[in-house]
Structure 1
Amino acid sequence: MTPHPTDDHLGRAADAVREWGGRWVERFGARDFVCAPAGLWLGLGVVAAGARGRTAAELREVVGAGGEAAAEAVTEVGRRIGEGAAAGVAVATAVWSGVPVRGAFRRGLPDVRFGVLPGAAYFALPDAAFGATDDLSFEPGSGAADAQGEIDTWVRGATGGRITRLPLELDGSEQLVLVNALALKASWASAFPRHLTRDAPFTDGDGVTRPVPTMHRRVPGAWAWRTGRVTVVELPCAGEGAPRVRFALGPRDAGPGEVITAAWAGGGGRAPFGARAVDLALPRFSLRTRTDVTRDLPALGVTRAVRPGADFSGLSAAELFVSGVGQGALLEIAEEGVEAAAVTQVTMARSAAPPRPGAVERIAFDRPFGVVVLDATGRLPLFAGWRRTAPVA
C-alpha cells in the first residue's frame, strides 16, 4: 500500500508532541486543566518555518522540522487533521503583522491567512506587504484595542463561539500575532443512555468524596487495556476521520504526567483486559483552561527564540523574537459525545538586539483521571486534560 503523503510529517510531529507534551502536562501540577498539544505544535511550527541559524536549530529539536521543512510539515499535518471535517474537526491558522512578511514565507504556508495588524504604521510598509494580505486586512485603527477586537472576532468564528477571546491580552508592542484554532464536535458511535446517568461517588485529589453526575454503559472489553499502572478506555466517535477519545485512570498516587502519557503510548506496552465486556462509569464533565505558555517554553527546549537577538530572518527583515505564547482550551464530555476547542497564540516583538472468558470488568472513573483526544490515526494528541476535582451538574 502506498503511504499517505503526510505519513512522514505526521509521524515526526506526533513523536515530537508526545515527547514534550509529556513534560508540558506535568507543569500544570495536579489541578484541573485542558490543553491542546497539537495546537501548540502548529503555532511553533509556523514560526519555526521563519527561523534561521541557531534559532532554527533550537526549534527543529522541539518541532521536529525547521525552515522550509517546518512549513511543509505544518501544511501537511494541518491538512491531515482537517481530513476529519466530516466528523466535526476544524483547524485554522492566521497571522496578523505590523512588519513586512517575506513572500517566500507566505508561499510556504498556503493554508495560513495573512493580514495587517489594525493600527499598524501603514505608511512604513512597502506596497509588497499589501499584496500579502487577504480577508484579514483591516482599516487602520488606534492600535492594540482595535487589534484585540478584530482578532477576538476571528477567534469566535474559528471556534464556533466556544472560545471568545485571545488567551493573552495585546498591549500594542506586538509586531506579529499568530493564532491557531482547533475545534471539534463529535458524537459517540454509540451514545450513553441518558436514563442511566445518575449520581455516583467521586473522590477528588484531596480525598473528599461527593456525588457527581455519572454516565453508564457497557462497552466491549477490547476497548480497554492497561499500560503500566494505568487503565485506558477508548470510546469511538462516529464519522469518517473521527478523532479517538481515550480516558485514563491511574492509581491514587499517580499524577497527570504518568496517566495522560499512558493514554497516547503506543501499542507495544499494552496489556489487554481479557474481559468480554466492561461496565463503564464515567462522569459527565467539562474543563476550561487559559494558560500563559511562555513560562513553560524553556522546559520544552525553547530559549533562544524567546530572547531579543533571535533569528527569524526567514520570516521578515525586521528583527523579531517570540514575546509571548498563550493557549485557551475547553473540553466537554456528555452522553451524546465530545466537544473541544483551543486557541493558541504566538506574539512576536522587535528585538532590541540581535479476556477472562465471559467476564465483565467494571471501570469507574471515580477519582482523578485523564482524557486525551487524538487524531483519527491515534498518533497525534489534539487535546489532553486532567480532572482532579469532582464534576458538578
Structure 2
Amino acid sequence: MAEQIEKVLPGAEVRRLAERWLPHLGRGEADFACSPTGLWLALASVAAGARGDTAAELRALLGVAGEEAAAAVTEGSRALAGTDALAVATGVWSRLPVYRAFREALPDVGFGPMDPGAIDAWVDRATGGLVPRLPVQLTEEVQLVLVNALALKARWDVPFQASATRPKPFTDASGRQYEVATMHGPVQPGSAYDVTGTGGGEARVVELACASPGPGASAKVRFVLGAPGAEPAEVLPLAWAPVERRRRIDADTVRIALPKLSLRSTVEAVRHLQALGVRQAFQDSADFSALSPERLAVSQVVQETVVKVAEQGVEAAAATVVAMRYGSAYRPPEKIEIIEYDRPFGIVVLDGSGTVPLFTAWQAEAPAADG
C-alpha cells in the first residue's frame, strides 16, 4: 500500500507542501489544525485546468499541473481511500460552463450547478458532520467553487480506559498552567521513539495505532513533543522523518499521558500561497483555459479542519475550498518511561502507508475536550 500511494500520489510533494506551508500558519503560541493533503488535492484539481505561467507556478508548488495533475488527483484519491476509515471526496459547482475534457479528466469528481444549500449539505455529509457547512460565503462574484473533503473516524487499536482519565497540569505556550482531562495508558513496543531533524531539532514521537476493520491499512496517528519553545514548523515534520533518523527509547515500558482535545480552525491560505510563489492564479490574467471557456481567476482558498482525540479514537476532517471569480482581460529492574504531553505538542494523522500527512495540528493552549 505504501508503494502504491507513493507511485500514484506524489507523497514527497505533499510533504514538501506541508513543510513549506507550516511556517505560515502561525507561531507556537496559537493552536491550529490543517490538512496538507486536502490543500494539495484541491489545488492540484484546479491545476488540472491551468495553462501557461499559471500552470508553471502551481507545478512549482505541487509538483504537477495540467494532465498529470488530473491523473495524480484521481489515482491518489483512490489510493488514499484504501486507508481504513478515511473518506475522500471532491466536488465542483459552477455558474458557468466547464469543459467536458476537464470533467472527464477528473472522473471521480462530482459536477453540478451553483447551489449553496446543496453544497453545504454535501460538505456536511462528506465530513461526517464534523464540518457542517462550507467555510466561505458564496457571493454572486463566485463563479465556480471546488471543494475537497477528507474525513477520518477511527478507533484506537487499544483504547484508553476512561477510568484512567483524570485532571493533570498542562502548561501552555505562554507559561500559564491549567488542569486538563488527560488520558493515561501503555504504548505498544516500538511505537515510541526519539527523532532528529535535518536541521538538528529533536522530538519524542508516540504512534498510536488505529483499528483496521477492513482490508485496508489503518491510519497512523503520531503525537510529537519537541524541545521546549520549538516552533510547530520545526516539530510537526519530524512525524514523517525517515526511519534512519529514529532512535529507540531506552525503557522496558513506555506509558503516555495525553490530553483529550478538540481543535477546530479555519485557514485563509491565499496570502500563504502567494508567499510560496503562486501569484498568477489570483490575478485577472490567470490562465485556466483548460477548465472553462470563460476567463477565471482564484479568489479564495480556505480550509476548515477539525481534529478530535478521545479515549476511544480519533476524528479528523477538513474541507478545502477553492473559489473562482471572473478574470478580466478576463524490563530486570523495570525501566518505565512516561511521555507526558503537558506542554505544546503536535498531532499528525498519516495515511495507511505512514508517508502522507493527511492532517496536522498544534496544541499550544490548554486543550478543550470538545468543540
Shift of the 20–182 alpha-carbon distance from structure 1 to 2, 3 Å rule, reads same
* Alignment match, 1:72: 71
**Structure-2 separation of matches of 1:103 and 1:365:** 51
**Structure-2 separation of matches of 1:356 and 1:256:** 38
* Alignment match, 2:209: 236
* Alignment match, 2:230: 254
TM-superposed deviation, 1:241:
2.0
1:307 pairs with 2:275: no
Consecutive unaligned residues of structure 1, counting only runs of 5 or more, are 118-146
The residue type equivalent to 2:328 in the other structure is A
TM-superposed deviation, 1:4:
5.5
Moved more, 73-82 or 271-280: 271-280
Aligned length, in residue pairs: 359
CA contact (8 A) 1:174 1:349 kept: yes
* Alignment match, 2:295: 319
CA contact (8 A) 2:298 2:323 kept: yes
What secondary structure does 2:190 align onto?
Answer: helix
1:22 pairs with 2:33: no
Per-residue CA deviation, residues 276-307 of structure 1 (Å, 9 max, x unaligned), is: 32111000111000111112111233111111
Per-residue CA deviation, residues 353-376 of structure 1 (Å, 9 max, x unaligned), is: 269995321100000000000000
CA contact (8 A) 1:275 1:356 kept: no
* Alignment match, 2:318: 342
Shift of the 364–324 alpha-carbon distance from structure 1 to 2, 3 Å rule, reads same
1:163 pairs with 2:131: yes
* Alignment match, 1:363: 339
Residue 106 (structure 1) aligned to one of 103, 107, 111: 103
TM-superposed deviation, 1:7:
3.4
Regions of 4+ moved over 6 Å:
none
TM-superposed deviation, 1:391:
1.6
CA contact (8 A) 1:221 1:275 kept: no
**Structure-2 separation of matches of 1:304 and 1:76:** 27
Shift of the 380–6 alpha-carbon distance from structure 1 to 2, 3 Å rule, reads closer
Moved more, 329-338 or 150-159: 150-159
Shift of the 46–33 alpha-carbon distance from structure 1 to 2, 3 Å rule, reads same
Shift of the 107–355 alpha-carbon distance from structure 1 to 2, 3 Å rule, reads farther
* Alignment match, 2:184: 216
Residue 389 (structure 1) aligned to one of 342, 358, 365: 365
Consecutive unaligned residues of structure 2, counting only runs of 5 or more, are 197-201
TM-superposed deviation, 1:268:
2.4
CA contact (8 A) 1:199 1:212 kept: yes
TM-score, normalised by the number of residues in structure 1: 0.88
Matches within 5 A, 1:1-393: 6-10=5-9, 12=10, 14-29=11-26, 30=28, 31-84=30-83, 87-117=84-114, 147-228=115-196, 229-239=202-212, 240-353=216-329, 358-393=334-369
Per-residue CA deviation, residues 9-47 of structure 1 (Å, 9 max, x unaligned), is: 32x2x2122112123222222210111110010100101
**Structure-1 separation of matches of 2:332 and 2:172:** 31
* Alignment match, 1:125: none
CA contact (8 A) 2:191 2:207 kept: yes
Higher Cα Rg, which structure: 1
The residue type equivalent to 2:68 in the other structure is A
CA contact (8 A) 1:167 1:291 kept: no
The residue type equivalent to 2:101 in the other structure is A
CA contact (8 A) 1:167 1:327 kept: yes
**Structure-2 separation of matches of 1:32 and 1:338:** 18
Shift of the 43–236 alpha-carbon distance from structure 1 to 2, 3 Å rule, reads same
Per-residue CA deviation, residues 233-257 of structure 1 (Å, 9 max, x unaligned), is: 1000001321110000012120111
The residue type equivalent to 1:216 in the other structure is H
Per-residue CA deviation, residues 371-392 of structure 1 (Å, 9 max, x unaligned), is: 0000000111100000001124
